[in-house]
């Protein structure tokens, strides 16, 4: 069975992702035994980023690597395994929100458009948008029930 990298390299819709993973020197890591769950943005997902973003990221390898590792989770999680799961922790260390309901499968700001592509070292879920990391304060506010709006007294 092919690895996650083999699958990505063989699919033209992942050419931007493959280039980014190569530039960030993550190919070897994603070819290792894993297992990994990869939320893989397509070329169309990368195209949604503001003009110049990809060029800027390629020039800032640590930030590029951080964004890419945010799309990877240690362990193999098929869609069925994630039903009822609220979040996973990415290799980058930040939480990825999971929402599976009424036939939709979403992660943070992205929709999974193809789930459960099995690889020798894990699974790929294809997403339609590059996932955005939440600010560090986001989860504490959500947990406390606050909405971040301060009401003003008249």
**Confidence class for position 146, pLDDT limits 50, 70, 90:** very low
CA 111 to chain centre: 10
Structure tokens given for 106: 């979403």
Set out the domains of the chain in order of their start, with CATH numbers.
4-144 (2.30.180.10)
Q: Would you say residue 3 has pLDDT above 60? A: yes
> Three-state SS across the chain?
CCCHHHHHHCCHHHHHHHHHHHHCCCHHHHHCCCCEEEEEECHHHHHCCCCCHHHHHHHCHHHHHHHHHHCEEECCCCHHHHCCCCEEEECCCCEEEEEEECCEEEECCEEEEEEEEEECCEEEEEECCCCCCCCCCHHHHHHHCCCCCCCCCC
Q: Would you say residue 145 has pLDDT above 80? A: no
What is the pLDDT, as a whole number, of residue 34?
85
Sheet holding 110-119, edge to edge: 72-74, 36-41, 122-127, 110-119, 104-107, 95-101, 87-89
Rounded CA-CA distance 63/11 in Å is 25
**Which tens digits make up the pLDDT trace of 47-101?**
998 888 888 888 888 888 888 889 999 999 999 999 999 999 999 999 999 999 9
CB of 131 closer than 8 Å to CB of 108: yes
What is the pLDDT, as a whole number, of residue 149?
46
What is the pLDDT, as a whole number, of residue 96?
93
Average pLDDT over residues 24-33: 85
Structure tokens given for 150: 């301060």
**Which tens digits make up the pLDDT trace of 88-143?**
999 999 999 999 998 899 999 899 999 999 999 999 999 999 997 765 544 444 44
| Residue 68, number of CB atoms within 10 A of its CB | 24
């Amino acid at each position: 069975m092919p690895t996650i990298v083999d699958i990505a390299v063989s699919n033209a819709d992942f050419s931007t992702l493959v280039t980014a993973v190569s530039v960030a020197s993550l190919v070897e890591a994603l070819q290792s035994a894993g297992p990994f769950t990869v939320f893989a943005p397509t070329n169309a997902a990368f195209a949604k980023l503001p003009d110049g973003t990809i060029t800027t990221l390629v020039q800032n390898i640590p930030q590029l690597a951080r964004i890419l590792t945010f799309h990877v989770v240690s362990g193999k999680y098929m869609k069925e395994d994630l039903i009822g799961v609220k979040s996973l922790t990415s290799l980058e260390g930040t939480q990825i929100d999971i929402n599976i309901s009424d036939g939709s499968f979403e992660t943070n700001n992205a929709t999974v458009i193809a789930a459960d592509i099995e690889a020798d070292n894990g699974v790929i879920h294809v997403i339609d948008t590059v996932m955005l990391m939440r600010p560090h304060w986001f989860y504490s506010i959500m947990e406390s029930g606050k909405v971040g709006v301060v009401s003003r007294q008249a």
